[in-house]
Structure 1
Amino acid sequence: MPQWLETTAIFLLAQGVAWIACYLVFLLGVRALGRLGEFWANLLRRAQGPVQWILMVIAGIAAANVAPLSPSRQGLIAHVLQIALIFGLTWLARRALDIWMTLHLRRYRLDVEDNLMARKHVTQGRILQRVGSVLILAIGVSAALMTIEGVRQYGVSLLASAGAAGLVVGLALQPVLRNLLAGIQLAITQPIRIDDAVIVEGEWGNVEEITATYVVVRIWDKRRLVVPLNHFIEQSFENWTRSDATLIGTVMLYVDHEVSIPALRAEAERIVRASPLWNGDVFALQVTDFRETVVEVRILASATHAGRAFDLRCEIRERLLDHLQSSQPQAMPRLRATLREQAAG
């Protein structure tokens, strides 16, 4: 048998054995975990790719040691397989981090009324997961480059030098490093969390996604506002759900001086208590200002989150307007004028 054909046969046999062994192991594992639930089976399937890659690389290393190769070719193949193994280990580490984070966040649900604890853990977990993925990828790429003699020497000389090239690279990486450090700071201090109601750049919306470099805010009209991560560290913004999702809605009324405040308060309280949007916590009606033509009345009512508070405010306005038109028409704002008779002369 020719030498090249023998080498090819050894490599194909090693790859085939590794592929079949990995397939059978994961097939049995998926069936076993499938009895516990589809969730666990899906987690195992997510690890199949990197594990299979690593096993096939190891099989290739074993085949290279057995195959009749010259020292130069054996060294080249060993180097390529070494880089492939580093790639597989990096892939496996990122997938393991992803699987662990999925298991950790499985206990927390965002689709419940009181989701403050869930938002805290989901935000912290996702930010740290992205930062960890970037660090794992950086370590993997560095390890692969360190196996190449020329690149390793160039990297050492670049780090040791203080020339213009090092300055340019440092300045180019500054925004990336700032956002990376801002992501770590956000994960620790958590000024914002997933699904927080915030006002950024004059826009009100909910935090939809936090990546390693930017934050996506879902505006109330379904637009998306993309904000750099360091904006939430360096600039001011409003967070309506920082410690609690409950919000107090404010309704301002401007009525005539002839309004009956007790009757208006009783009607407003009846409206609020009958509304399913009210959380039963805060209600108040107060006269907050007295002007030449109108009386300013402020109504406070609380709701479980920003969306329900907005709808509750609209409901109070609509029903009180109907009440004033039907029961207290004299309380509608009016302009008064004094007419004096002038004698004809």
Structure 2
Amino acid sequence: MENVLRPVIVVGGSITLTLLLGWAVDVLLRRADERHHETPLWGLLRRCRLPLQVVLLAAILRATFRETRWPSVDSHQDRIGQTLTLVIIGAGAWLVIRAVSVAVQSAYARYATVTRDPARVRRVRTQVTLIMRIVTAVVIVVAVAAILLTFPGLRTIGTSMLASAGIIGIVAGVAAQSTLGNLFAGFQIAFGDMVRIGDTVVVDGEWGVVEEVTLTFLAVRTWDERRITMPVSYFTSRPFENWSRGGVQMTGTVFFQLDHTAPVDLMREKLHDILLECPSWDGRDWSLAVTDTTPSTMEVRAVVTAKDADDIWTTRCAVREQLLAWLAAEHPQALPRITMSPAKSSRSGA
């Protein structure tokens, strides 16, 4: 009877103790969240309950599994102990990553609520995203290293490889030169405030919004829903347009090639009427002027403003369409014309 009760007590007691500790921690976090509404940290920390319980259960079983005194357990003590150790390491890494993620999300949420500058919020979002990726990579590497150290054979192999570590490091450095360059470029982008998530950029003639920034690549969502993925080193080695730097307000131009008889004054009045009915125009500024001439046409430039890149595109399209339609209907002579005359025959009449 003792051979049955002892394992049940050990395993059942470990599970019960783990559940009680997890419940107690959850209650404390819930009460802390109710008392401190200004920060979401305590509520977010409740997401760590599951990895915490796994760590507690594995640690308790690691300390008490020999008390079961089962013959099968006694004969495989080393394997069971090592397995539980691996579970503790893996669950501990999971808990650390989850806790750091919660802390980062809490700090970002508080910063986003008290900061009214969208550019700063996007900059902090980019930085915390990259910091979280770095922390995750470091924790995983440390956890894998700790797991390998639990195997005596791998420790021996690792010791024997230290003599050739210099050569391996040189080879790896040469082989990973591009990757390391992108890695350092990612740090430069994150903390140099060159480009942020949500910025409107123009790269290689493509207009889009920065959707994702990682340690090695950057994704841009174009206006037609395509995704352009490029290494982050592109943004540190080549010029690009960032329309979100210095504020999101924009000024746009619309050019017309018209006949010299085009009524510029009437066009100016019509442009103002169009803008007054255009919801995407922000009302800051507008103008219309003749900027160039050729022997057959003149160039007319309309200048409009809008609150962001999307609205400036909409405003420019509306001005272009409506002004051309108005000219075609009211002043068709203002549109460019090609003057043609019949060719004279070189033959003389009989």
Match of 2:186 among 180, 183, 186: 183
Residue of structure 1 equivalent to 2:243: 240
Residue range with higher mean Cα deviation, 92-101 or 167-176:
167-176
Distance 1:28 1:128 in 2: 29
Relative to structure 1, is the Cα distance of residues 43 and 117 closer, same or farther in structure 2, using a 3 angstrom cutoff?
Answer: same
Matched residue of 1:181: which SS? helix
* Identity over aligned pairs, percent: 33
Q: Is the 8 A contact 1:128 1:184 kept in 2?
A: no
Relative to structure 1, is the Cα distance of residues 101 and 271 closer, same or farther in structure 2, using a 3 angstrom cutoff?
Answer: same
Residue range with higher mean Cα deviation, 326-335 or 117-126:
326-335
Report the residue type matching 2:130 in the other structure: I
What 5-or-longer segments of structure 2 have no aligned partner?
Answer: none
Report the Cα offset of residue 3 of structure 1: 5.7
Residue of structure 2 equivalent to 1:115: 118
Q: Is the 8 A contact 1:34 1:40 kept in 2?
A: no
Deviation string, structure 1 residues 136-173 (Cα, Å, up to 9, x no partner): 22222223323333323333433431576555544555
Report the Cα offset of residue 340 of structure 1: 11
Residue of structure 2 equivalent to 1:198: 201
Residue of structure 2 equivalent to 1:53: 54
Residue of structure 1 equivalent to 2:109: 106
Deviation string, structure 1 residues 190-240 (Cα, Å, up to 9, x no partner): 321111112234322111112333222111111222222333233333222
Residue range with higher mean Cα deviation, 146-155 or 331-340:
331-340
TM-score (structure 2 length as normaliser): 0.83
Residue of structure 1 equivalent to 2:164: 161
Residue range with higher mean Cα deviation, 11-20 or 286-295:
11-20
Correspondences of 1:29-44 after superposition (within 5 Å)? 29-30=29-30, 33=33, 43-44=44-45
Correspondences of 1:232-311 after superposition (within 5 Å)? 232-311=235-314
Deviation string, structure 1 residues 71-119 (Cα, Å, up to 9, x no partner): 8854544433333222222111111121112212224669x99622221
Residue of structure 2 equivalent to 1:6: 6
Residue range with higher mean Cα deviation, 260-269 or 94-103:
260-269
Match of 2:95 among 78, 92, 95: 92
Relative to structure 1, is the Cα distance of residues 326 and 149 closer, same or farther in structure 2, using a 3 angstrom cutoff?
Answer: same
Deviation string, structure 1 residues 289-334 (Cα, Å, up to 9, x no partner): 1011110011121211111110000111122123323443332222
Relative to structure 1, is the Cα distance of residues 337 and 180 closer, same or farther in structure 2, using a 3 angstrom cutoff?
Answer: closer
Report the residue type matching 2:10 in the other structure: I
Relative to structure 1, is the Cα distance of residues 233 and 8 closer, same or farther in structure 2, using a 3 angstrom cutoff?
Answer: farther
Relative to structure 1, is the Cα distance of residues 175 and 81 closer, same or farther in structure 2, using a 3 angstrom cutoff?
Answer: farther
Distance 2:289 2:226 in 1: 37
Report the Cα offset of residue 67 of structure 1: 4.7
